[in-house]
């Protein structure tokens, strides 16, 4: 399947910014970012479908931006105004369109984002 490698995570103070990158072996119809905090279920953060349609979780709208650089085979997640509740392991994923939503079957190894004072 698709190979994905995330990078760019780190520790920042509230209000800070980070840009996550995900190098992919090939693009698929659906590309997305997910996150998981300890003891929590994996959460959809942002998705991009067919390189133009974007979907964001309500909790990150206006703060996070998903984008693709096709020449570099890289998916990005630009995060600003970070909050402690944004803390978690962030994963990029590749999937297919199933008629009404994306189904993800390939996942990166994850990159940790920690937001704290």
Would you state the pLDDT for residue 51?
83
Q: What is the mean pLDDT of each run of 10 residues along the chain (117 residues)?
A: 96 98 95 96 96 95 96 96 98 95 97 97
Asked if residue 45 lies in contact with residue 34, where contact means CB atoms within 8 angstroms, the answer is yes
- Closest listed residue to residue 28, CA positions, set 70, 57, 60: 70
Asked if residue 45 lies in contact with residue 55, where contact means CB atoms within 8 angstroms, the answer is no
The per-residue b/e assignment along 90-113, b for 16 or more CB within 10 angstroms, e otherwise, is: bbbbbbeeeeeebebebbbebbeb
């Amino acid at each position: 399947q698709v190979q994905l490698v995330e990078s760019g995570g780190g520790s920042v103070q509230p209000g800070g910014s980070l840009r996550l990158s995900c190098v992919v072996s090939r693009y698929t119809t659906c590309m997305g970012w997910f996150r998981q905090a300890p003891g929590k279920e994996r959460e959809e953060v942002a998705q991009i479908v067919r390189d133009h349609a974007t979907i964001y979780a309500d909790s990150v709208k206006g703060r996070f931006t998903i984008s693709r650089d096709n020449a570099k085979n890289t998916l990005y997640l630009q995060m600003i105004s970070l909050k402690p509740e944004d803390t978690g392991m962030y994963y990029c994923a590749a999937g297919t369109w199933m008629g009404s939503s994306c189904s993800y079957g390939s996942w990166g190894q994850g990159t940790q984002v920690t937001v704290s004072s």
